[in-house]
Amino acid sequence: MVKKTSTALSHPNIAFIKYWGNRDAVQRIPSNGSISMNLEQLWTKTTVSTDAWLQKDQLRINGKMAHALAAERVSLFLEKIRNMVHSDAFFSVESTNNFPISAGIASSASAFSALAAAVLDLLGISVSEQQLSAFARLGSGSACRSIPTGFCEWKPGHNHSDSYAYSIASPDQWPLWDCIAVVADNPKKISSSHGHALAGTSPFQQARVEDAPRRLEICRNAIANQDFLQLAEIIESDSDMMHAVMMTSNPPIKYWLPASLEIMQLVRHWRESGTEAAYTLDAGPNIHVICTSSSRGVIEEKLRYHPNIKQVLSASVGSGTSILPLE
Ligand code: PMV
């Protein structure tokens, strides 16, 4: 081991074609492929250090000791990495975010991608981007898509090493924005890990998974051709399909709030009136309004003055995970 500390910076991502349900829950091998966009202005910065006296892993999030569940999840992930790289070191992890965590803004994606990058760097293990993406996936599936840059596709694969994400277009391919309308910023009650496990209980999940190659193809083409209308229709349909599965799982999961539905309807109305905007929602009530750079100003203005929206966070297409120089 060469370094005593390592810091990585990573961005969350918003899925255009969603990952929901696993074929293998332990390895997080997904039931279907997915496509996302990294979010540049939102970030998680994670510093990992190690010392011979550490008897177990330690986790601090935003300056406070993490609660037991989060600490246990991180420790389980670190244990998987220790086993894979044959290390017996314990780690002290300090993670900071500049956006609300656990509220459907994919904080686990930026958290586990940053953590995977920082731990491997600290241990002096050099891996390819593909291998790093696969490692990040073990912590949170969507984290594998925060490793490469820009617009990323996660190829589901069949085992640990062939389930990873790669960039399908760089950030400058299409200067899209995600204006996130935060209608609730408290942590969600049902974690996505729990939700993935319930996906198979919905009679709609099989149809959603079987239709995924069609949606992925349309989404890839829309990005390649900068075809906003095509993108808008496919991402809204994909988001609605995932939420239909969630709502019809046993037990059902209802992430939408009345305000979520209200904003979704408004977004469709704005698009019909000529503003390039489309909605998508992850495992939470907050609405991600995807728009072009020319419609961003007007969208932000409309969202900011809406009485049911607490906060608007805006992000352009982001870069991948990076290791920061030592301070
Ligand atoms: O990576 P997880 O286990 O937090 O699951 C993410 C699931 C969604 O955000 C709802 C969809 C996605 O593809 O990011």
Domains, the chain: 4-171 (3.30.230.10), 176-316 (3.30.70.890)
pLDDT, mean over the chain = 95
Backbone angles phi and psi of 258, in degrees to 5: -50, -40
CB atoms within 10 A of CB 220: 18
Read off the pLDDT band of 98 (50, 70, 90).
Answer: very high
What is the average pLDDT across 252-256? 95
Query: Which of 11, 13, 14, 19 has most ligand 1 atoms within 8 Å of its beta carbon, as the pocket-test mutant?
Result: 19
Degrees, nearest 5: CA angle 204-209-215 = 110
Read off the pLDDT band of 256 (50, 70, 90).
Answer: very high
Helix, strand, or coil (residue 278): strand
Show the DSSP H helices in the chain as ranges.
68-85, 107-122, 129-137, 192-198, 205-210, 212-225, 228-247, 258-272, 293-304
Query: Which of 34, 282, 290 has most ligand 1 atoms within 8 Å of its beta carbon, as the pocket-test mutant?
Result: 282
Query: Do the bridges between strand 164-169 and strand 151-155 make them parallel or antiparallel, or are there none, so unpaired?
Result: antiparallel
Do residues 226 and 174 lie in contact, with contact meaning Cβ atoms separated by under 8 Å? yes
What was the pLDDT predicted at 100?
A: 75
**Is residue 192 within 6 Å of ligand 1 at its C-beta?**
yes
Q: Distance (Å, rounded) from C-alpha 131 to C-alpha 253?
A: 33
* Nearest of 164, 157, 107, 116 to residue 139 by alpha carbon: 116
What is the reported pTM? 0.96
What was the pLDDT predicted at 185?
A: 79
pLDDT in tens, 50-59: 988 899 999 9
The letter for the amino acid at 295 is S
Q: How far is the CA of 273 from the centre of ligand 1 (A)?
A: 31
